[in-house]
Amino acid sequence: MSEIYDVVIVGGGPAGLTAGVYAARANLKTLILDKSKTAGALAYASLIENYPGMERPLTGKELLERIRAQALSFGVEYREEQVVGVDLVSETKEVITMSGSYKGKTVIIATGSMGRKPTIKGEGELLGRGVSYCAVCDAPFFRGKTVAVIGDSEEAVKEAVYLTEFTELCYLVTSSSKLKVEESHPVFTNSKIKILTGYTIKEIVGTDFVTGLKISKEGVEQTLEVNGVFVFIQGSQPITDFLGETLKVDERGFIVVDNFMQTSIPGVFAAGDVASPHVRQVVIACAQGAVAALSAEKYIRGRSRIKADWHG
């Protein structure tokens, strides 16, 4: 894709969407790449009542939809795609997805902190050898095989449905009593998906590659014979795996930024939970997204300082 954007934003949570609002209002050609409209931390929040300007409490999903609609109203281009890699060193940056690549004069990383450290026995040891966190990335490797998806979120369900385009059978396993999707969701009528609720995940089994998933319910253990396990359980680690080692991070993996949300590479900024290890609030993420966009505008247009914006 030869088109060059002024700003490419990776992440469609409050930080990324607010960055989109500010960038588009500054007449910058802006693209937001978001892996899912419902996969972020805000989308999981059952109730938000401390965000300024709200007349009544909203669910996180409702608030996110409002900010997204606002960004789109200013002309932001929004694409639901999984980012798998980047080239940030060149003057023109490149963000690579499963569908292609996008070029930008600047990039804002706003992917949040719902990544995870391995917590299931065997998860870390078999990561990349049957254990995956990305169905879109790895589904083709399991063509005609049996896999399991762990999780109850809309993202987990969506990935399970996607996997059935390649696999023979997909177990959807969760410790919850039900999935967090509408009863009319196609997952319930998909003949290739077997839903197992109320199960405790004991171990991912395998030596060189995954061979099974050990689960239990009401004291009874069983091992599902699977070739792959896709883990979609909420975590609290910054999501930076697609960056490789291109940006400076702290000892906990959060992207290091200055007061203007500038990272270690000029023209690359970060905002929200991916760069905020101490305070995780929607209003903070939005503020950092705004600063990142203003800094991107300053970088592109060669301003000596960030442009003030107090008018309506």
Residues annotated catalytic, as ranges:
134, 137-138
User: Cα 266 to chain center, whole Å?
Assistant: 24
SS3 category, 307? coil
Proportion of the chain in helix, strand, coil states, percent, rounded to 5: 25, 30, 45
Distance separating alpha carbons of residues 229 and 147, to the nearest angstrom: 6
Closest among 224, 218, 219 to 195, alpha carbons compared: 224
SS3 200: strand
Question: 106 and 4 in contact (C-beta within 8 Å)?
Answer: no
* Rg of the chain over all Cα atoms, to the nearest angstrom: 20
- Are 145 and 227 within 8 A, CB to CB? yes
**CB neighbours of 36 closer than 8 A, spacing ≥ 6?**
80, 154, 155, 158
Q: How many CA atoms lie within 13 A of 173 on its CB side?
A: 27
C-alpha 51: how far from chain center: 22
Please, which residues bridge with residue 78 across strands?
32
As a whole number of angstroms, the distance between CA 247 and CA 268 comes to 9
Using CA atoms, how far apart are residues 10 and 107, in angstroms rounded to an integer? Answer: 8
The arrangement of strands across the sheet holding 220-225 comes to 200-206, 210-217, 220-225
